[in-house]
Amino acid sequence: MEQIFTCTVCPFGCELHVDLSGDEPVVTGHACARGKKYGVAEATNPVRTVTSTVLIDGISELHPNLKLLPVKVDKPIPKAMMFDGMRIIKTLKVAPPVKAGDIVYKDFLIPGVNLVAGRNI
C-alpha cells in the first residue's frame, strides 16, 4: 500500500510516496534525506507539535490585559493524541508569574513530554 504526503520539513513541499508493503518502508519523491526520514515517520508514527493556550488565573503584571498564556509541547506527540491533549489543556489554569519555558503540565500524555509556557506573564 502506498501513502502520499506533502513533505513539510522545508518550504519546498516535495510529494512523498511511501510504500509500507515490504520489510522496510520505501520512499520516493523526496529531494533530500530529511524528506525521506519525514516520509517514513509520517507513514509509521506521525507526530505533531501541539500548541494552544491556557487560562491565566489572576492578572499578569507584565501584561494586565492578557487572558491566555500560549503553551506548547516540548517534544512532538503522536498525531492521534492531539485531541486528548486538547482535553487536558482545556482544564488547566496558571497563576502568574510564569516564565517562558516553565513547565505548565509535567508528563503530558507521555512520560518525558511536558507542556511549557511560550511567554513570560
Partner 1 sequence: MDKLIVIGGGPAGLAAAASAVDAGVSPEDILLLERDDSLGGILNQCIHAGFGLHIFSEELTGPEYASRYIDRLHEREIPYVTDAMVLSLNADRELTYVSPKDGFIRLKASAVVIATGCRERTRGQIMIPGTRPAGIFTAGSAQRFVNMENKMPGKRAVILGSGDIGLIMARRLTLEGAKVECVAELMNYCGGLARNVAQCLNDFDIPLLLSHTVTDILGKSRVEGVKISQVDENRRPIPATEKIVPCDTLLLSVGLIPENELAREAGVVIDPVTGGAVVDQYNQTTAEGIFACGNALQVHDLVDNVTLEAEAAGAAAARYALSGTKTVNYVATTPGDNVRYIVPHKIDLGGSGDVKLSFRVTSTIRGCDTVIKSGSKELRRIRKRVVTPGEMESATVKISDIDAPVSVSIEERA
Candidates 83, 91, 111, 112: give the one binding partner 1 (CB under 8 A). 83
Q: Which residues of 6-41 are buried (b: 16+ CB within 10 A; e: fewer)?
A: ebebeeeebebbbeeeeeebbbebbeeeebbebbbb
**Binding partner selected for residue 78 from partner 1, ligand SF4, none, CB under the kind-specific 5 to 8 Å limit:** none
What's the rounded Cα separation, in Å, for the pair 77 and 99? 23
Burial status of residue 43 (CB atoms within 10 A of its CB: 0-12, 13-18, 19 or more): buried
Cα separation, 86 vs 35, in Å, equals 28
Bridge partners of 117? 71
Question: Does position 55 bind partner 1 by CB under 8 A?
Answer: yes
Closest distance of CB 108 from partner 1, Å: 15
We find the least distance from the C-beta atom of residue 101 to partner 1, in angstroms, to be 9
Q: Which residue has its beta carbon closest to ligand SF4?
A: 35
Q: Does 17 bind partner 1 (CB under 8 A)?
A: no
| Closest CB to partner 1 among residues 22, 63 | 63
* Residue for grid cell 493556550: 53
CB of 59 to partner 1, least distance (A): 13
Q: Which residues bind partner 1 (CB under 8 A)?
A: 5-6, 8, 10-13, 31, 48-53, 55, 62-68, 70, 72, 79, 82-83, 86, 100, 118-120
